[in-house]
Structure 1
Amino acid sequence: MNRRTTRLRIPLAATLALTAGLALAGCGPEDGGAQLEVAGAYMPRPVTQDMAGAFFVVKNTGGTADKLTSVTSDLSKDISIHRTVGNKMEQVKSLDVPANGELRLGRGGNHLMFMGLKNKPVEGDKVTIELHFATSDPIKVDVPVKATDYVPKK
């Protein structure tokens, strides 16, 4: 290798390293990616051991939309995501979490259904769930069990 080739390789390597670093830095929340947090979670005390519902709000303060794709919990192996349109409830594979917006799960609307509970939680218990998203990291949430007729304040 001659001196001229060596002189060209050093600036080229530095330029490539700087470019790669800038590209990686652009992939985080500073780039407006999804920034998710969960608020207002609750589960009404189940009436039977057959099923339970859970409700909460996923807030996205980032500039990129995401999707809630699944939920896991020790309470049940069968947890499904439901969407309600009009008076019709249907199971869906995911729910959108809009950029700079929120996904609301509540009574009479979108919600989670826990089928075949391993135990029947009582008021005052907390049920740990893990929310899984299309692109964001999972979020663990401790969901307090409330009275069967609990309605959150607006």
Structure 2
Amino acid sequence: MSLSKTLFAAIAAVSFAGPIWAGSITVEDAYARASTMGAVSGAAFMEIHNAAEVEDRLVAVRSDVAQRVELHTHISDANGVMQMVEVEEGFAIPAGGVHALARGGDHVMFMGLNRPLVQGEMIELTLTFEQAGEVVVQVPVDLNRKPDHALMLQKSGQN
């Protein structure tokens, strides 16, 4: 990739990575990744802030980037092996609090990608909340995000 394309991708990612407000819900630090080149699956991560005085719940997500888009988490089985599972009831977003969708924890899962997730591109997600309704988020694809991002969020108490 040329220097100008790399610079444009970096500026675009920073420009669109800012907070997105919808009533009491704010989405920050959103990004998406494919697991590998030519992958058929990928994931999106973000921080969801709820400024309301009542709990809300992220109950669904959709996007045209994949055949199926689900809310997932990681759980440990009886042998200590981590597995990804769908969370059909969604994720609680506490009143006046934050819920982090981070690597190694809760996340948006793309299964059956309709196209590659390309560095610097934007994908659109529609998040559906019980109270706040639908929130449309433009999410930058960031294939260079450091793998320890989830650990930093967990250590800071945001997960």
Q: CA RMSD in A?
A: 1.9
Match of 2:103 among 103, 107, 120: 107
Pick one of 36, 43, 67 that aligns with 2:25. Answer: 36
C-alpha separation between the residues in 2 aligned to 1:113 and 1:147? Answer: 15
2:86 aligns with 91
Task: Check if 1:119 corresponds to 2:119.
Answer: no
- Return closer, same or farther for 1:102/1:80 CA change in 2, 3 Å cut-off: same
Q: In the TM superposition, what is the alpha-carbon distance from 1:57 to its structure 2 partner?
A: 0.7
Structure with larger Rg:
1
After superposition, the C-alpha distances for 1:85-117 in whole angstroms (9 at most, x for unaligned) are 453432111111111111110011111110011
Cα distance in 2 between the residues matched to 1:96 and 1:64: 11
Give the secondary-structure state (helix, strand or coil) at the position aligned to 1:116.
strand
Deviates further, 44-53 or 103-112: 44-53
Deviation string 1:3-53 (CA, Å, 9 cap, x unpaired) is xxxxxxxxxxxxxxxxxxxxxxxxxxxxxxx71110000012442341001
Amino acid in structure 2 at the alignment position of 1:84:
H
The CA deviation at 1:134 is 1.3
- Rate the CA distance shift 1:115–1:45 in 2: closer, same or farther, 3 A: closer
Q: Are 2:34 and 2:41, in contact at CA under 8 Å, matched by a contact in 1?
A: no
TM-score (norm 2): 0.69
Q: Which amino acid aligns with 1:123?
A: Q
2:72: which partner in 1?
82
SS in 1 for 2:140: strand
| Per-residue deviation, 1:149 | 5.0
- TM-score, normalised with respect to structure 1: 0.71
Structure-2 residue corresponding to 1:131: 127
Q: Which moved more, 1:60-69 or 1:142-151?
A: 142-151
The alpha-carbon deviation at position 76 of structure 1 amounts to 1.4
Give the C-alpha shift of residue 148 in structure 1.
4.9
Do structure 1's residue 52 and structure 2's residue 47 form an aligned pair?
no
Structure 1 letter corresponding to 2:86: Q
| Aligned counterparts of 1:85 and 1:98: Cα–Cα separation in 2 | 21
Identity of aligned residues (%): 29
Unaligned runs of 5+ in 1: 1-33
CA distance in 1, matches of 2:110, 2:83: 18
Whole-angstrom CA distance in 2 between matches of 1:103 and 1:39: 11
| Alpha carbons 1:45, 1:147 under 8 Å: kept | yes
